[in-house]
Amino acid sequence: MSHASRRRWRRATTSAATAALLCGALLTFTSAPAAAQVRLGSGSYTTVLPPGASGPSDHTGAPVAPKVTADFTQPVVTNDWWSSLIFQRYPGNPYGENLYAHPLSFKAQAHGLEVGYPDTPELVADGLKYQYTHSPDFVLGIHGLNAPAAKVAGYSDWTVTADLSDGTRQLRTTIGQGLPFVYANVSGGPIRVEFTAPPTVWRRSGNAVGVTVNGHHYALFAPSGTTWSESDTVFTADVGGSGYASVALLPSPDDFDRYAPYAYSFVTSTTLTYDYDPASATLTSTYRVTTEAREGTAQGTLLALYPHQWKETTTALTDLSYASPRGPMRVVEGDRFTTELTTHGILPSLPTVDSADHQRLRALIDAELHASDPWKGASDTYWTGKALGRLAQLVPIADSIGYTAGRDALLDLLKNKMEDWLTADGPGDNAQFYYDDQWDTLIGFPASFGSNTELNDHDFHYGYFITAAATIARYDRSWISEERWGPMVTTVLRDANNPDRDDERFPWLRSFSPYAGHGWASGHAGFASGNNQESSSEAMHFAASAALLGSLIGDEELRDLGVYLHTTQASAMRRYWQNADGDAFPAGYSHDVVGMVWSDGGDHRIWWDGTPEELYGINYLPITAGSLYLGHDPEHAAAMHQSLVTRLGRQPQVWRDIHWAHQALSDPDAALAAFEAQWQSYEPESGSSKAHTYQWLSTLAEFGTVDTSVTADTPHYAVFRDGDRRTYVAFNPTGQPLTVTFSDGTTLTVPPGQLATG
């Protein structure tokens, strides 16, 4: 099993406390009956689970259904910070795992909801991981509550409402990322707060109490006319047959009066909207909360922002702050805040420079084309996807050197493989997609690494399919038409990240957490550390492919989705995986990069026993023109490369092509020289090729490093700088000539469907 195979296997089978539970073999089966197929243009998917295949399952292999209440009416969400509430991974735990919303953390149990504030990091695994572990300060419940399970009653963009009911009593709590409040609706008995240590009461204001427990400060708010009764570590309030309460986490006891006005302004919904303006190269994201005044007239609330938000916000910050695994959180007041980010362009490919050896490029392309198996034995969604991506990257290179026959042969390979996958009764190896209407998801079979049983990694896998489709569409628009393969391609895309809130087939943005600013890989989040994201770069690859496909088919909704995902994740990735600002990792943590971000922290390890090269490289690959974000700060990119070299005590030997490509973003001449010395003997990473690596390195050696000081009025551009010389590149996805204007006044006329360089 390859290193990357071990990574995916371990992600798919690791429990909350240990790694390595189960390993399922790839599945083979016959096509589903025609009656089970849904036709979309020339393509189709099946609605019957293929014989012998498994859908979402617990860790024993038994099928699982979403844990939702009878009044739940929304598409089923997975891959979020709270997904262990809805996806029961472990038969003996119907309550879910630790939930890290930041600044608060939670865990459901029979008697209520544990609430804590993990503000102190600890180093574990010999200092490889830092974590802010959930430790409850109190349990919020109802007197006598003994709920047999936790269920999801509803959700919004970054909140969830958890239901704990026992037939007589019902507790519904709304919790969310960035919310320092817990909002509770109760029936069937008095509300009950049991502290885990004797609390110090420092404020009594009738229906409100201020306490400190375990060094953390809270305010308890019951309806007017009620009072809190105290007995040892238990506080109760009789809120009537159907009542409510809220609890606020205070930075300091002195902040009681700042939080009190919002105690009864219950957050009922949260919504992210984003607006991409090509003319100004600006992405504006607005985070809104909808509130209901349970008492009084207060509107809005207090919201704690992650660093990638508060450092880019146009909204005034208060002086309030909290600790979190991502660094300090700053607080805004009101019903919304806005961030603005510059969009630095997404290219479909780099130009090929004249100084490159075009004959060598042709020979290297032929080596891939004429291999005994261009797919390298791939049969499942992930490895087929990697092969699709590898071959797709060669198409524009062949075209750029005038190797039309090679280009068309590559396109034929891509089309045949894609058409097989995009039909439920394709002629090939029984590859197909299955729609699970219980979980509102599209699963590719043969599946791999938990993409079926755990709903892991859909954006990682499917991003390669979207790249292949966009590459075909670049040269054959009819192939992607509504009458042919377009509807199936966009259906695959929408499963991973759907921009359409009205599309009931899939949840909105399955694989992306809008408040966190990045995605989560695990479908069930069944870990004590919450959810995790390892390969941030494969999530970025999906984003780039979505933007390109949207532009090529004239779908601005998909284009803007890709731009939003790519721009936002780039801002989060450099901070939370690479500590670029220097304040994300806690003091005493000796590593300057993590392989994985967890809900409770970060880990300088990966999902397999890999080399240091793989730990760094898993957040770089696949290298495409959409990877230029890794070089937006050449000095930081150089520091990352040097960090690896220092750790190794030598230049990288594993995945050399990935690290040469990354090194070229800060020192392209050195990277090309290393390639030239070894190109005939090294083994490419499975998703890469010698032809693509050589073209990437030779182009950057001539163009220089990425220059983000200049923007353009199109989504698809890049600017490079080598000394005093700038090179401008733009892509025109339309059928008409396009004049691109750069912010320094330079203009570039780009023919239809072409790259242009100036």
DSSP annotation string for 356-370: S-HHHHHHHHHHHHT
Structure tokens at 275: 């607006």
Return d(Cα 187, Cα 143) in angstroms, integer: 10
Return d(Cα 347, Cα 334) in angstroms, integer: 38
Beta-carbon contacts of residue 616 (< 8 Å; ≥ 6 apart): 593, 595, 640, 643, 644, 659, 662
What's the average model confidence in pLDDT over 2-7?
Answer: 35
* Single-letter amino acid code for the residue at 291: T
237 lies in the same domain as 363: no
What's the average model confidence in pLDDT over 269-294?
Answer: 98
Enclosing H/E stretch for 568: helix 556-576
pLDDT of 14 above 80? no
Exposed, middle or buried, 647 (CB in 10 Å: 0-12/13-18/19+)?
A: middle
Is the separation of the CB atoms in 439 and 64 below 8 Å? no
192 lies in the same domain as 328: yes
372 lies in the same domain as 333: no
Whether 179 maps to a domain, the answer reads yes
Nearest one of 93, 122, 95 to 107, comparing CA atoms:
95
pLDDT band of 240, cuts 50, 70, 90: confident
* Host domain of residue 175: 83-342
Beta-carbon contacts of residue 70 (< 8 Å; ≥ 6 apart): none
How much is the pLDDT for 22?
30
Is 538 one of the catalytic residues?
Answer: yes
pLDDT of 17 above 90? no
Whether 7 maps to a domain, the answer reads no
Is the separation of the CB atoms in 115 and 137 below 8 Å? yes
433 lies in the same domain as 580: yes
Look at the alpha carbons of 507, 513, 519, 523 in this order and tell me if their dihedral is positive or negative: negative
Beta-carbon contacts of residue 448 (< 8 Å; ≥ 6 apart): 8, 26, 380, 381, 382, 383, 461
- CA-to-CA dists, residue 251 to 88, 103, 303, angstroms: 34, 10, 13
Return d(Cα 385, Cα 315) in angstroms, integer: 41
In the block, tokens 């967890």 appear at: 598
pLDDT band of 378, cuts 50, 70, 90: very high
List the end-to-end C-alpha distance of the chain, in Å, as a whole number: 46
Give the active site residue among 97, 114, 368, 457. Answer: 457
Is the separation of the CB atoms in 216 and 137 below 8 Å? yes
For 54-110, the pLDDT digits (tens) are 999 999 999 999 999 999 999 999 999 999 999 999 999 999 999 999 999 999 999
Return d(Cα 9, Cα 7) in angstroms, integer: 5
Structure tokens at 482: 């509504």
Radius of gyration of the chain (CA): 26
pTM, two decimal places: 0.95
According to the 3-state scheme, what is the secondary structure of 126-143?
CCCEEECCCCCCEEEEEC
Exposed, middle or buried, 425 (CB in 10 Å: 0-12/13-18/19+)?
A: middle
Is the separation of the CB atoms in 100 and 85 below 8 Å? no
For 151-191, the pLDDT digits (tens) are 999 999 999 999 999 999 999 999 999 999 999 999 999 99
Is the separation of the CB atoms in 732 and 752 below 8 Å? yes
Beta-bridged to residue 237, according to DSSP, are 191
How much is the pLDDT for 21?
30
| Residue ranges with strand state E in 672-746 | 705-706, 717-722, 725-731, 738-741
Is the separation of the CB atoms in 433 and 443 below 8 Å? yes
Q: Which of 316, 342, 368 is the last residue of a domain?
A: 342
pLDDT of 322 above 70? yes
- CA-to-CA dists, residue 177 to 270, 306, 575, 650, angstroms: 10, 9, 18, 42
Is 556 one of the catalytic residues?
Answer: no
How much is the pLDDT for 429?
63
For residue 465, what is the domain's CATH number?
Answer: 1.50.10
Whether 6 maps to a domain, the answer reads no
pLDDT band of 358, cuts 50, 70, 90: very high
Whether 223 maps to a domain, the answer reads yes
For 659-697, the pLDDT digits (tens) are 999 999 999 999 999 999 999 999 999 999 999 999 999
Return d(Cα 181, Cα 712) in angstroms, integer: 42
146 lies in the same domain as 265: yes
320 lies in the same domain as 382: no
Q: What are the backbone angles phi and psi of residue 91, rounded to the nearest 5°? A: -55, -30
Whether 711 maps to a domain, the answer reads no
438 lies in the same domain as 470: yes
Return d(Cα 109, Cα 239) in angstroms, integer: 22
Structure tokens at 522: 């695990």
pLDDT band of 428, cuts 50, 70, 90: low
pLDDT of 466 above 90? yes
Which comes out higher in pLDDT, residue 450 or 429?
450
369 lies in the same domain as 400: yes
Give the active site residue among 255, 312, 399, 538. Answer: 538
Look at the alpha carbons of 385, 391, 397, 399 in this order and tell me if their dihedral is positive or negative: negative
Whether 312 maps to a domain, the answer reads yes
What's the average model confidence in pLDDT over 418-428?
Answer: 88
Return d(Cα 271, Cα 288) in angstroms, integer: 5
Whether 723 maps to a domain, the answer reads no
Let me know how many helices (H) and strands (E) the chain has, helices first. Answer: 15, 36
258 lies in the same domain as 322: yes
178 lies in the same domain as 245: yes
Is the separation of the CB atoms in 54 and 12 below 8 Å? no
Return d(Cα 739, Cα 214) in angstroms, integer: 62
Return d(Cα 470, Cα 395) in angstroms, integer: 11
Which comes out higher in pLDDT, residue 334 or 430?
334
pLDDT of 742 above 50? yes
Whether 324 maps to a domain, the answer reads yes
DSSP label of 85? G
Nearest one of 19, 4, 22 to 125, comparing CA atoms:
19
The three-class DSSP label of residue 481 is coil
Nearest one of 717, 719, 722, 718 to 704, comparing CA atoms:
722
pLDDT band of 205, cuts 50, 70, 90: confident
Q: What are the backbone angles phi and psi of residue 537, rounded to the nearest 5°? A: -70, -30
Beta-bridged to residue 441, according to DSSP, are 436
Structure tokens at 236: 């109760």
How much is the pLDDT for 34?
47
Enclosing H/E stretch for 109: strand 105-109
pLDDT of 31 above 70? no
Return d(Cα 715, Cα 626) in angstroms, integer: 11
170 lies in the same domain as 128: yes
For residue 208, what is the domain's CATH number?
Answer: 2.70.98.30
Return d(Cα 511, Cα 155) in angstroms, integer: 15
Phi-psi region of 102 (alpha: psi -120 to 50; beta: other; left: phi over 0): left
The three-class DSSP label of residue 435 is strand
Enclosing H/E stretch for 162: strand 159-165
Q: What does the DSSP assignment read for 229-287? A: EEETTEEEE---SEEEEEEEEESSGGGHHHHGGGTTEEEEEEEEEEEEEGGGTEEEEEE
What burial letters (b/e) apply to 192-205, b meaning 16+ CB within 10 Å?
bbbbbeebeeebee
- Using a pLDDT cut of 90, give the percent of the chain over it: 94
371 lies in the same domain as 236: no
* Count of all residues that appear for the chain in the document: 758
Number of domains in the chain: 2
Structure tokens at 77: 């969400």
Structure tokens at 715: 């989504």
Nearest one of 755, 658, 746 to 351, comparing CA atoms:
755
How much is the pLDDT for 497?
98
pLDDT of 1 above 50? no
Q: How far is CA 73 from the centre of its chain?
A: 24
Give the active site residue among 163, 194, 459, 534. Answer: 534
**Mean pLDDT score of the chain, rounded to an integer?**
94
What's the average model confidence in pLDDT over 699-728?
Answer: 98
Structure tokens at 443: 């699963």
Q: What are the backbone angles phi and psi of residue 285, rounded to the nearest 5°? A: -115, 130
The three-class DSSP label of residue 225 is coil
The three-class DSSP label of residue 507 is coil
pLDDT of 16 above 50? no
Which comes out higher in pLDDT, residue 240 or 540?
540
Q: What are the backbone angles phi and psi of residue 235, rounded to the nearest 5°? A: -115, 135
Q: Which of 342, 367, 394 is the last residue of a domain?
A: 342
pLDDT of 582 above 50? yes
Return d(Cα 629, Cα 708) in angstroms, integer: 10
Structure tokens at 491: 């259906």
